[in-house]
Amino acid sequence: MALSVQDVARLADLARIEMSQDQLAALAPQLDVILESVAVVGQVAEQDIPPTSHAIAMTNVFRDDVVTPSWPAEAMLVGAPAVEDSQFRAPRILDEEA
């Protein structure tokens, strides 16, 4: 499957990436190589090979959730530039009302 410069220009447009004609012309054959490589991998992965996300089996190891003492809120708020109702006060960043 040969990608044309117009194909790459369309993809760049969809991705909202501005590219010059020289960049498009240079990128088209590079993308062709990538697509051909993916096609080769697709041919190798036959149906007798199950899809995997890792080369070896992995399991998550979770620790027990144990409640431990934390720093007192007053100690954490000492250096805050602004405090309100025992919480950090930060300036509103959205114009929407809560």
Q: Which domains does the chain have, with CATH numbers?
A: 5-44 (1.10.20)
> Given CA atoms 32, 35, 37, 40 in this order, what sign does their dihedral have?
negative
Local confidence pLDDT in tens for the 98 residues of the chain: 688 999 999 999 999 999 999 999 999 999 999 999 988 887 776 667 777 778 888 788 888 889 999 999 889 999 899 999 989 998 888 876 65
CA angle 87, 93, 94 (to 5 degrees): 120
- How long, in residues, is the chain? 98
- Is residue 89 a contact partner of residue 82, using CB atoms and an 8 Å limit? yes
Q: Which residues contact 9 (CB under 8 A, 6 or more apart)?
A: 19, 24
CA angle 59, 60, 63 (to 5 degrees): 140
